[in-house]
Structure 1
């Protein structure tokens, strides 16, 4: 099979609206949490979130264009712009029939759906809807709009496997390229659900933290005093490219994508398996796919969302699979800083994995002050401060409602690969 490398990165996140700003804030251990500004959250149980800050759609679209796109699509296109610029593509040398876009989202245009239904509810005798309602809302539209914007005529679709979605998108793009069905694919995820229905819905599930008095400390994976996740938003886009294609055009190569695993807990619609069975399966599949032993992995960016049950089950899974290697393994939960971007989580966390390889740094798990006694002290969870480390292999985990589990593995490209 063909080999696949990463040649471009783009990010819109609660920590910054480009990859460098995102990485620098993550290494500094900064939190993106603050009071919600997207709507009046006065009467909501949770009044804070990790919102994207300072995003100006007019940097990317005209006003008429922006009105035709939900925010989740706008974020995806903005991240794609950075990714394509970073890759320094010469469009005259690119076969657009072999260039695709696989963009994940957990929920899609929920804000558009909410707005249109609330407007309809004001006067049900005159059912008037925005003519762009459907094309703004549907989950495939980020992939569709990206393909239209750049004239990409290859593979194009969305993945919707809840919070596992963007790793599944990256994995699907990986498979398509190594099977020879494409040369390049923009892959990743996007989410923009800091809106009334999402916050109220997650509150009703008792999934969100309600620590309104200290937002920046509310997302605290692995900590004994964690109370739930913090909602986040944004997008992460990676350019996956066939190795020889990248070499022929003289591309800058960040690293190689070498493994992908996808499985299911088959246990519960919202809770992970208590022993992490699905997580173990996804991670083991990714290792087998990469042809690597567990001891080859230097860093795991954990899914860890700061929920009482989920963090423990993932730690059990990691301890089970990497039991003979824990002293050399770093783990961190960067949702402690970004919040949980749902369907975009795996994409921005994959970017952090890639940067850990290129920069030799492990981003921290912030707000980890008192380790949950149910979590093994043998795990190096990179508490509160980034750590220097030579990283040759990094893994990213994502797990979603419905039991979906997915893992991807990135590896430093060996010199003799050329």
Structure 2
């Protein structure tokens, strides 16, 4: 196979989310239909119109030593936790190229691509408060490397010793998926043999909550936190903000085979487009999404008949949820009838730039275990959703046990960014 068309596989997964502090507990929560959304109990939340969010189940300080954590924005803390799990899950130990490394990867052939939609916003806002209240000399000297959007990626690159390239795509809520798509291309085109890729976000803070709330983008169902994120339900009223990180290790199939690595799935490829419609509103007919889906089909050997599962973007907004389903129907026609569509944000909330990473972990595990997680909180299914897709509701659904099957992970962001990833069983 030519170096510009190499097969890419997933050999490691890691996560820290509102459902669990690692990939295994997160997956268990998804399959069980567990909600990670809770009421915000901080003093600052009392005056907010939105008083619910999905915080991580395990605080970073339970995992990262305090001296190290003090030099990292919360978003970078999440990324390091997920990346370390994924790195070890892939069978690597230590930093590539160093004495304590297992020697299975050349650091010059190792990359990192970790995205964030907002970056170190909590560091920026908190340190501005320090400046106003305590003066110039009390501002942390670590502020700039903490608030940089590339801080999570840079720190993950340092963790594993990546030298082939360390990158940070920023495309709002499509960022995490775009990072994985970029990583696939790094390997496919021969720039790297192994890439650690995913997304992270930590934006549960008074200002982002107030700003999203005033945009009317978030659910105000404060009396029922666990029922607030309800994609495809006729009464959905906006997304619920979540936080956390999802990271996967991608590797050329040849490199993985040479070291005897376990393979979760093949990373088939990506489809990317832009709506050019509005800075926040999705194009209502899903034309841009359809273009991304078609681009995926045109640029890979993916057969629509292989697709049995879609981890939908489905944030629980009135317009966005249906536009995505219309696009799937437009591109795939009758083939879309056998897609088991899951909206895992009903359980995790919306992790913004981290969503594509976490949901790629979920899509890969759905193929590996051959089970599709449910969409929870759908009491009254929107007729437009019902007409266009088979939504997995109430409880998880078994996927076909025979043959190769494929899954899509859709991610879309403010600005009209559309990214679709495809994975296939091995």
- Normalised by the shorter chain, which TM-score bucket? over 0.9
Equivalent residue for 2:71, pick from 68, 82, 85: 68
Equivalent residue for 2:85, pick from 82, 87, 93: 82
For 1:275 and 1:351, the matched residues in 2 are separated by 28
Q: Name segments (4+ residues, structure 1) moved above 6 Å.
A: none
- 2:359 paired residue number: 349
Q: Answer yes or no: is the 8 Å Cα contact 1:364–1:386 preserved in 2.
A: yes
- 1:52 paired residue number: 56
CA RMSD of aligned residues (A): 1.4
Gaps spanning 5+ residues in structure 1: where?
414-418
Call closer, same or farther: CA 1:172–1:222 in 2, change over 3 Å.
same
TM-score of the pair, normalised by structure 2: 0.94
- The residue matched to 1:300 in structure 2 has which SS? strand
- 2:146 paired residue number: 136
- The residue matched to 1:283 in structure 2 has which SS? helix
Q: How does 1:309-388 map to 2 (within 5 A)?
A: 309-388=319-398
- The residue matched to 1:93 in structure 2 has which SS? coil
Gaps spanning 5+ residues in structure 2: where?
94-101
For residue 53 of structure 1, report the CA deviation from its aligned partner: 2.1
Is residue 2:171 matched to residue 1:161? yes
Call closer, same or farther: CA 1:261–1:272 in 2, change over 3 Å.
same
Q: Which deviates more from structure 2 when the two are superposed, residues 286-295 or residues 252-261? A: 286-295
For 1:195 and 1:283, the matched residues in 2 are separated by 34
- 2:422 paired residue number: 409
Call closer, same or farther: CA 1:39–1:397 in 2, change over 3 Å.
farther
Call closer, same or farther: CA 1:39–1:185 in 2, change over 3 Å.
farther
TM-score of the pair, normalised by structure 1: 0.95
Equivalent residue for 2:274, pick from 236, 248, 264: 264
Q: Answer yes or no: is the 8 Å Cα contact 2:272–2:418 preserved in 1.
A: yes
Aligned length in residues: 411
Is residue 2:317 matched to residue 1:307? yes
The one-character-per-residue Cα deviations of 1:202-260 (angstroms, maximum 9, x if unpaired) are: 01111010100001000000110000000000000000001100000000000101121
- 2:409 paired residue number: 396
For 1:357 and 1:53, the matched residues in 2 are separated by 25
Q: Answer yes or no: is the 8 Å Cα contact 2:60–2:77 preserved in 1.
A: no
- The residue matched to 2:350 in structure 1 has which SS? coil
Q: Which deviates more from structure 2 when the two are superposed, residues 46-55 or residues 374-383? A: 374-383
For residue 152 of structure 1, report the CA deviation from its aligned partner: 1.8
